[in-house]
Structure 1
Amino acid sequence: MLTPKKGVVARGTLFGVSVLVCAGCATMSPSPRWEGTPTDTEISVEVTNLVWNDITIYSAINSSKTRLGFVTTGTTGRFKIPRHHSHSSGLELIADPVGSRVVLKSGRINVGPGQAIRWTVHENAGISSLTIW
């Protein structure tokens, strides 16, 4: 009957243990991010308020409306569109002037992750401008 030598058993055991350790470490590494970095997936919005009232800015998709922030008269505010709104083709920006019954809307915007919107809001919606890049 043949018996393995002590050195052969030790090397075989060492090899087996090192394979298990490497396999265990490989499963602990973070999974790759397929969605890109946050700057690649977010939509940034810059709103310039030329309305006499301060305005609250919302992003809306269908019946879901999310408050982005507040822009005082004569200033510019910068916001990020929430991720759940950034993958939709029917995004709309809403400017709600404080103390007014009039609500200003951008209309439907087709924008994707990584893009930016610049919206200049005037009292007269006809001269407001919207740029996407």
Structure 2
Amino acid sequence: MLRPLRGTPFGVWLAPLLLMLILPACARQRASPPPQRAPGPEPVEVVLTVTNHYWLDVVVYIEHDGQRTRVGTVTAVSTQQFLLPLRVLGVSHQFRLYGAAIGSPEAVRTETLNIQPGQAIEWTLESSLRRSSVAVF
């Protein structure tokens, strides 16, 4: 048990001692704030519809920023839809579509396309790949 020192009142040294022991136990730790997200629009997907009238399967690629990214394969005489995240279209959203026929040296490439979020692409591959057409809407 604590005894007061001679000549000092008991409460003079007990109160600060108790405060030093109790205050740290009552203190709350501050939670770190949640990480802030960078401002900007949410990522949006672009729909690419490829209609293949060619007699062979065609592998579809996107060429952007000096690289070629494989999108998928469209079987002969069929239509296939692909959902493309905007990040696949490159930083500038300027790209070209490239189609390579499987089992043939024939290939087709579109002109440079520029797309914005919310737009869609429709690429029609004809029986002669040179007559193929593309539309962005």
TM-score by length of 2: 0.68
- Equivalenced residue count is 124
Deviation at 1:84, TM superposition (A): 4.5
Assess, with a 3 A threshold, how the Cα gap between structure 1 residues 34 and 114 changes in structure 2: closer, same or farther: farther
Residue segments in structure 2 that go unaligned for 5+ positions in a row: 1-11
Find 2:57's aligned residue among 43, 54, 65: 54
Q: Is the 8 A contact 2:51 2:125 kept in 1?
A: yes
Q: Is the 8 A contact 2:64 2:90 kept in 1?
A: no
Residue segments in structure 1 that go unaligned for 5+ positions in a row: none
**Two-structure CA RMSD over aligned residues (Å):** 3.2
TM-score by length of 1: 0.69
Assess, with a 3 A threshold, how the Cα gap between structure 1 residues 43 and 33 changes in structure 2: closer, same or farther: farther
What is the correspondence of 1:14-29 to structure 2 with a 5 Å cutoff? 14=26, 17-18=27-28, 20-22=29-31, 24=32, 26=33, 29=34
Letter in 2 for 1:50: H
Alpha-carbon distance between aligned partners in 1 of 2:106 and 2:130, rounded to the nearest angstrom: 14
**2:30 aligns to what SS in structure 1?**
helix
Residue 36 (structure 1) aligns with:
41
**1:45 aligns to what SS in structure 2?**
strand
Assess, with a 3 A threshold, how the Cα gap between structure 1 residues 34 and 124 changes in structure 2: closer, same or farther: farther
Find 1:71's aligned residue among 50, 60, 74: 74
- Range 71-80 or range 120-129, more displaced: 120-129
Deviation at 1:51, TM superposition (A): 0.8
What is the correspondence of 1:1-133 to structure 2 with a 5 Å cutoff? 14=26, 17-18=27-28, 20-22=29-31, 24=32, 26=33, 29-38=34-43, 40=44, 42-81=45-84, 83-125=87-129, 127-133=131-137
